[in-house]
Amino acid sequence: MSNPEIPAGTWDIDPAHTTVGFTVRHMMVSKVRGRFGSVSGVVTTTPELSGSHVEASVDMTSVDTGDANRDQHLRTSDFFDIEQFPSMDFTSSALKVLSGSGSDYELTGDLTIRGVTKPVTLNLDFGGVGQDPWGGTRIGLEAKGTINRKDFGLEYNSALEAGGVLIGDKVSIELDVEAVLQAPAEVAAATPT
């Protein structure tokens, strides 16, 4: 299915206007929210949207939960082990157009954390296309999904005296992505590789 609202081409993710956020249960009673401040990547849209593709990389040193001590702990081998695994990477494998689901698309791909790659599925909503003040074209996307952190080797936890554990296994992921059109499809097709 083609969508004339979304121009075909190559879009660079704008890190200044992109948020990669996460939420995880804390002590079984509340939630901790965090974000990664450094993300890069490319969105490639095609006339037939199901052929579109996303590649993104997150700098794991940029984790920010609002608490410097917790952020430092997350960077250690207990969690992200940034010395060995400085990035979290996503490469899409399929884009499915949905109807009547409350979400525009379903994006499937491979997520790599701590050197472990697992398939994930995200609900993807198209925010729109617009012209920026500098003559560029921008696209907005929102994506949401849930992963189990233990699937990626993030095993650290502590038992609570009253029962339960310090950190939940399920992690909710929320992405707000803005990307800038770099090469319209007809230009990209004419450029030798």
Amino acid at 149: R
Domain count, the chain: 1
Residue 188: CB partners within 8 Å, gap ≥ 6?
9, 10
158 is a domain residue: yes
Other CB atoms within 10 A of residue 16 CB = 6
pLDDT for position 1:
39
pLDDT for position 25:
81
By residue range, what is the domain housing residue 45? Answer: 9-190
3 is a domain residue: no
Q: CATH number, domain at 104?
A: 2.40.128.110
152 is a domain residue: yes
pLDDT for position 49:
79
Q: Helix (H, G, I), strand (E, B), or coil: what is residue 188?
A: helix
56 is a domain residue: yes
81 is a domain residue: yes
Burial status of residue 30 (CB atoms within 10 A of its CB: 0-12, 13-18, 19 or more): exposed
pLDDT for position 185:
52
Q: pLDDT tens digits, the chain, 193 residues: what are they?
A: 344 478 899 999 999 999 999 998 866 667 889 999 999 999 999 887 788 999 999 999 999 999 999 899 999 999 999 999 999 999 999 999 887 655 689 999 999 999 999 999 999 998 889 998 988 899 999 999 999 989 998 776 665 455 554 677 899 999 999 999 996 555 444 444 4
145 is a domain residue: yes
pLDDT for position 159:
57
Nearest CA among 4, 102, 105 for reference residue 50: 105
Whole-model pTM?
Answer: 0.85
pLDDT for position 33:
93
67 is a domain residue: yes
Separation of alpha carbons 4 and 190, rounded Å: 21
pLDDT for position 193:
45
Residue 90 sits at the vertex; the CA angle it makes with 108 and 97, to the nearest 5 degrees, is 25
176 is a domain residue: yes
